[in-house]
Structure 1
Amino acid sequence: MQLFDVAADAYVRFMGRFSGPLAEPFAEVGLVDVKPDAKVLDVGCGPGMLTSVLARRQGEANVIAVDPVEAFVEATAAAHPAAVVRRASAEALPFPDDTFGAALAQLVVHFMSDPAAGVGEMARVTAAGGRVSACVWDHAGGRGALSGFWGVVQRYDPTAAGERALPGSTAGDLTRLFEEVGLREVEETLVTIHLEVPTFEEWWQPFTLGVGPAGAYVDSLNQIERAGLMAAMREEYGDGPIEVHAGAWTATGLA
C-alpha cells in the first residue's frame, strides 16, 4: 500500500473527486437486503468517502472501517467519531467470524497484496446470508476514471504500465474471485459516474501529489518530461471544463 501512504487530503484531492460520487451507487448495490441496523464493514476505507455514505444509511455506530494507512485511519475516525475505525489490512481482518451483515471494498481489491485472501477475509467476517461487495474501475475496458490519463501517457511512453492489468479490472474478474472464495449468488454490474472538473488546472494538479500509480508515474518524471506530459494532457483535454465518464465493475454475493 506504499502507493497510498500519503496525506489524507492528497488522496481526497486526487481520487476523492471520483470515489466520492462512486460511493453512493456502490452502497446501493452493497446494502441490498441488508438490515438497516446491521453492522457493516468498510474494507480499505481510505479517508472515508464510502464510510460517510454507510454512516448516513446504517447509522454511524453501526459502521466499522479499516485501512492499512494510519493517516487515513486518523482522518476517517475524526470525521466519524461514533464509528469504529482501525488500522488493518484486508488480508488480515481483526474480527471474529460472522460479525457483519455486509462487507464492502471500494476501489481496493486491485491493490490488495493477495486479492483472494482479502475477499476471503471479507466473506469470513460476514454472517451467513450477509452481503459481500467490491468494485474496481474498468481499467481494462478503458472506462476507468484514469483511463484518459493513461491513454495520453502511453501514446508518448509505451513502456508505462498503466493500470489495465490490475486484479478485478476486467469484466468477470471479480465474479471469478468471489466464486473462488465460496460466495453465492454472485452478480456483477458496471456502475457509472459522471462529473465535470471546471478547469484543466483543477483536473491536472492532483496528479502531481504522488497518489497511486498515476501519481507515482508523474513523480518519476524529470521537470522537462513532466512539462511535456502536462502540455500533452492540455492538448487532449483543453482548458476545461473537463467531463469525466467512468465505470467500475461491481460484484456482490452472499456469504
Structure 2
Amino acid sequence: MGRFSAPLATSFADFGLRGLGEDMSVLDVGCGPGMLTAELVRRLGDERVSAVDPQPSFIAAVQAAYPEVDAQVASAEDLPHETATFGATLAQLVVHFMADPARGVQEMKRVTVPGGRVSACVWAHADDSGPLSGFWRAVQRIDPGADDESGLTGSARGEIVALFEGAGLREVTEELLTVALEFATFEEWWLPFTEAVGPAGAYVARLGEDRRERLVTELRREYGEGPFSLQVAAWAATGRV
C-alpha cells in the first residue's frame, strides 16, 4: 500500500495542516515506515516532527531515515507524550487498525494544544473507491463469502467525523482525498499481492495454485494488461481541540 500512501501523504498533510503556522510541532500517529513522516519533515524540518508506531521495525526505519525525529514505539491508545504538546496530530491510514479507535482519538486530542488540529484519514473501502476495491470485486466474483475491507472503521463517509465529535473535537469537517497512480503493466500492479502483506496479500497466500490462477484471470478482466491508471480515494476528517 505504500505506493498509494506516499502520494496520499501530500494531500493529507495539506488537509491536516491547513490554517496552522509553520513553527509548531507535529505528531505522526501510526507512522509505519514513514510515508507521512517524510512529508512532514519536508515541510517543517526534522526537529518539529515526532512519530509513534507499535511496530519496532517501523520505528527503526524512521530513525534511520530521520535521526532528528523523535520516533518512539507506542500505540495510539497510549501516547508517550505530555498533554498539549503538539500543534497538529495526524493519523494516516491508522484509525481502522487501532484496537480502540475512540480511545486512540481521545489520546490524539489530549496531546494536541488547545486550538490545534487533530486529523485522520482511511481509504474509502466502503464506497468502492479504495485502492483494493477492484481486487475485492474480483475476489467476490469467484468467492462470494470472502471478507473484504469495506467494514473497517473510518472507511465510510461520516465515520471518522463521528469518532471526532464523540471525542469532543470542535469544527469537525470531512473531505474526500483522491490519489491517481499509473501502472505500466498488470504484473507491476499484481506483484505486491504475492508477498502476503495485509488482508489482500494474506488472502492470496491462502489460495491453492488453481484458485490463484482463477483469481489472476478475474483480475486481468478487471484491470486489463496495462497500461492503466487507478484513481482512488480516502475519507479524511479534521477537528479543533
Q: Same fold (TM over 0.5)?
A: yes
**Match of 2:109?**
123
Counterpart of 2:236? 250
State percent identity of aligned pairs. Answer: 58
Equivalent residue, structure 2, for 1:74: 60
CA contact (8 A) 1:37 1:59 kept: no
Using the size of structure 1 for normalisation, the TM-score is 0.92
Counterpart of 1:100 in structure 2 is 86
Using the TM superposition, give the Cα deviation of residue 211 of structure 1 relative to its aligned residue in structure 2, in angstroms.
1.5
1:207 aligns with 2:170: no
After the TM superposition, which parts of structure 1 deviate over 6 Å for at least 4 consecutive aligned residues?
A: none
1:91-139: per-residue Cα shift (whole Å, max 9, x none)?
A: 1111111010100000000111111011111001001110000001111
Match of 1:113 in 2: 99
Secondary structure (helix, strand or coil) at the match of 1:208 reads helix
The yes-or-no answer on 1:23 pairing with 2:9 is yes
How far, CA to CA, are the matches of 1:250 and 1:207 in structure 2?
26
Cα distance, 1:226 vs structure 2: 1.5
**CA apart distance, 1:30:** 0.5
Computed over aligned residues only, the root mean square deviation of the Cα atoms, in angstroms, reads: 0.9
Aligned AA (1:46): G
Matching residue's letter, 2:121: C
**1:85 aligned counterpart, secondary structure:** strand
User: Which letter maps to 2:172?
Assistant: V
1:87 aligned residue (73, 88, 102): 73
How far apart, in 2, do the equivalents of 1:132 and 1:68 lie?
20
1:56 to 42, 45, 49: 42
Question: Corresponding residue for 1:136?
Answer: 122
Instruction: Give the alignment's TM-score, normalised by structure 2.
Output: 0.98
CA distance in 2 between counterparts of 1:87 and 1:223 reads 39
Match of 1:4 in 2: none
Instruction: Name which of structure 1's ranges 170-179 and 207-216 shifts more when overlaid on structure 2.
Output: 207-216
The AA in structure 2 aligned to 1:119 is V
| Post-superposition CA distance 1:20-49 (Å, at most 9, x none) | 110001000111122212110000111111
Gapped regions of structure 1 (runs ≥ 5) = 1-14
Give the deviation of 1:223 after TM superposition: 2.1
One-letter identity of the residue aligned with 1:91: E
Find the residue that maps to 2:136 and give its secondary structure: helix
Partner of residue 33, structure 2: 47
Please report how far the alpha carbon of residue 215 of structure 1 lies from its aligned counterpart in structure 2 after TM superposition.
Answer: 1.2
Asked if 1:36 corresponds to 2:57, the answer is no
- CA distance in 2 between counterparts of 1:242 and 1:139 reads 20
Q: Equivalents in 2 of 1:224, 1:117: separation in Å?
A: 44
CA contact (8 A) 2:134 2:222 kept: no
Q: Is the 8 A contact 1:99 1:127 kept in 2?
A: yes
Task: Give the conservation status (yes or no) of the 8 Å contact 1:116–1:177.
Answer: yes
The answer for the alignment partner of 1:167 in structure 2 is 153
Match of 2:171 among 185, 203, 212: 185
In structure 2, how many angstroms separate the alpha carbons of the residues matched to 1:26 and 1:190? 10
State whether residues 203 and 242 of structure 1, in contact with CA within 8 Å, keep that contact through their aligned partners in structure 2: no
Q: Aligned equivalents of 1:237 and 1:32: distance in 2?
A: 36
| Unmatched runs of 5 consecutive residues or more in structure 2 | none
